[in-house]
Structure 1
Amino acid sequence: MSGFPTGVSVVTGTDRNGAPRGMTCSSMCSVSLTPPTLLVCLRDGSPTLDAIVTSGAFAVNLLHEGAQGTAELFASGDPLRFELLPWEVPPGAAGPHLTRDAHTVADCGVVLTQRVGDHVAVFGETRLISRPQPRPPLLYGLREFRSWSRI
């Protein structure tokens, strides 16, 4: 699958203690327009997945071309990742918004989960969309990050 370029997102949620959780996710797609539904595939056993399943909600932060460092940080497992960059949880948000690094954020409510191998597919009905940064998306393929504008 490394030969199939895709957009890069950070999926976020809040655990039962109110702590932010998040992980880089390139396995994300649109499922339906009515109702608007997204699918994210998250590693089974991750704290982010646990927070999302427990809370029943998550945010998909679609990263812009200048956010490669954020994608790498949230893929690293660094426990201090939320202390290293700006984020907020606006009213009505389903999870933390990476306001500096996302071109679009979709807030979703969990409607279905399905374990598949070592991942869990999480279907989320989109409740709110915001566009904090009008920048081109960050892409990943062939084990490299690229900007939409450079392709």
Structure 2
Amino acid sequence: MAEATAVAEAAFRALMASHPGGVAVITTADERGTPYGFTCTALCSVSLDPPRLLVCASHSGRTLPVLAERGAFVVNLLHAGGRGAAEAFTSRTADRFAEVSWRPGPATGLPVLSEAAHAVAECRVAALHPCGDHTIVVGDVLRSEVRATAPAPLLYGRRRFAAWPSEPGPADA
């Protein structure tokens, strides 16, 4: 068997862009209460017992060191009206939180995007696993909330945002 080589970065980006995912903003705060956050599509459930999820955070961002030090974070799952928040948290803007409405979460006191999120999970860090240029952050879910009347979830794929389709598909019938 021939030795495999890694695919080029551009080819890998194209591959992953072809797989749409839900959009979240991961938030935390330092010991002084200064909020930090980043836009994320790399998240998934890990376990029901205990309730656990994971997110992937870039080593080059400002949020990961604060999140690791704080030991807690919030997953804000964005609805279609939250595109502005998604874009704000991918920008190099110094104060991303000036562009969104937020409040402290009841379980952690960390930022919850009160208008842009249709669902929220407040988490305690269970494990950190460095992997390439990211760290896999595993979180125990301390509290969750889902807004039943929120707009459709925000998706990202093929390098663009879209809303969850409003028409039921064949699998929903």
TM exceeding 0.5: yes
Equivalent pair of 2:125/2:138 in contact (CA under 8 Å): yes
SS in 1 for 2:111: coil
Deviates more, 1:69-78 or 1:126-135: 126-135
Q: Which residue of 2 aligns with 1:6?
A: 21
1:1-151 alignment, distance < 5 Å? 1-93=16-108, 95-132=110-147, 134-149=150-165
Show CA shifts across 1:90-110 (max 9, x none): 322352000000000000000
Contact 2:155 2:162 survives alignment (8 Å):
yes
Give distance in 1, aligned partners of 2:158 and 2:120. Answer: 25
Stretches of structure 1 that go unaligned for 5 or more consecutive residues are none
Say if 1:94 and 1:109, in contact at 8 Å, map to a contact too.
Answer: no
* Structure 2 gap ranges (5+): 1-15, 168-173
Between structure 1 and structure 2, the one with the greater Rg is 2
- Aligned equivalents of 1:149, 1:15: Cα separation in 2: 37
Of 59-68 and 79-88, more deviation after overlay is shown by: 79-88
Could you tell me how far apart the structure 2 residues matched to 1:59 and 1:90 are? Answer: 8
Alignment RMSD (CA, Å) = 1.4
Q: Distance in 2 between matches of 1:32 and 1:121?
A: 15
Paired with 1:61 and 1:90, the residues of 2 have a C-alpha distance of: 11
Displacement, 1:16? 2.2
In 1, Cα distance between the equivalents of 2:152 and 2:108? 23
Amino acid at match of 1:140: Y
Aligned length: 151
Is the Cα contact below 8 Å between 2:105 and 2:122 reproduced in 1? no
Higher alpha-carbon deviation: 133-142 or 11-20? 133-142
Shift of 1:150: 5.2
User: Contact between 1:59 and 1:94, CA under 8 Å: does it hold in 2?
Assistant: no
